Structure 1
Amino acid sequence: MGGVNLEHLEAAQMFLFGDVKFLHLLLLLMFLDILTGVFKAAKNRNLWSRKSLFGYARKILILVVIILANVVDQILGLNGAVTYATVLFYLANEGLSILENLAAVGVTVPGGLEKRLKTIQEQEENNITSEIKEEFTTKRSGQNEN
């Protein structure tokens, strides 16, 4: 009979993701981050398809980083330590992003977290990436005026 050989699929899954702890939780948080991000963008009337496309691409790249961490773990025989640490980092990152989106939409967040989020937002606004982005935006608008 010409059926599908699931052994190859299982081998690929094991090589790519191994026995990654909390991967399902990370995928759930990624989905919730996208959902709350859409609500935030809708509230701010900033629903821009290219911006969301970059956000989706970042989520895919996070999975690529986890795959790389898993490959390093398997090559070095570290029993998932690098992958586990990587997933924990991205879990915290997604959780903060969800809280930030909820606070922007108007959902009440605990006071201590709200202060920390404001500090993080201020740091993001003052970082070099936003300065470069602003520089390119300013130059573009200046060229359009000529």
Structure 2
Amino acid sequence: MGTTSSVFQKRRFPLYSVLYYRGQLTTDFTFKSVASGLLYALLWLFGDVNDAVIALLALMTLDVVLGLSVAIKYHDVSSDKLRQGAVKFLLYFVLIIAANCVDRVVALIPLMSQVVQIRSFTMIYLAVSEGISVLENLSALGVVVPKVMLKRLRRFKQSMEK
């Protein structure tokens, strides 16, 4: 019998395997096209990946890890709290997308694009909020956190909310 086409051959990796998708990304033109289109759409929606984005993602990751550590320490692990945290982060992403879209529209007005940077303001606000949460979690875990740090971050956050 001759060789069978790749459609009928047994897969070496399950569909959820990273190696499977890596192979698809390097060989399948349709898969590459769809993946690059989705990546472009995400980058357009979220804006440039700069230090602020990386710092915010790092703070969000720290907040999740430290929040879980605090919950484990105090035997207060709850699926409701995890769900609320996931929804909060999802809404953060929606807020960043909205701020980036506003920036794109404002950029059409030559004089306003230099003055109004909604996405940057949003990223700073979210980073300060996450920074406060990280410091509070560290404090709950027994790490000595200078009160002046929390006080200044809270004051800065309040000034941004006005």
Q: What TM-score do you get using the length of structure 2 for normalisation?
A: 0.64
- Report which of the two has the higher share of helix: 1
Distance (whole Å) between structure 1 residues aligned to residue 77 and residue 57 of structure 2? 23
- Mind listing any 5+ residue stretches in structure 1 that lack a counterpart? 121-146
Counting matched residue pairs gives 118
Runs of 4+ in 1 over 6 A off after TM superposition: none
- Structure 2 unaligned segments of length 5 or more: list them: 1-26, 108-112, 156-162
How far apart, CA to CA, are the structure 2 residues paired with 1:102 and 1:15? 35
- With the length of structure 1 as denominator, give the TM-score of the two structures: 0.71
Match of 2:56 among 26, 47, 53: 26
In the alignment, which of 23, 27, 39 is matched to residue 69 of structure 2? 39
Give the number of the structure with larger relative contact order, counting CA–CA contacts within 8 Å between residues 6 or more apart.
1
Superposed counterparts of 1:97-136, under 5 Å: 97-113=133-149, 116=151
Q: How many angstroms does 1:75 deviate by?
A: 1.3
1:1-146 to structure 2, matched below 5 A, reads 3=29, 4-5=32-33, 8-21=37-50, 22-77=52-107, 78=113, 81-113=117-149, 116=151
Superposition CA RMSD, Å = 2.5
Q: Share of identical aligned residues, percent?
A: 34
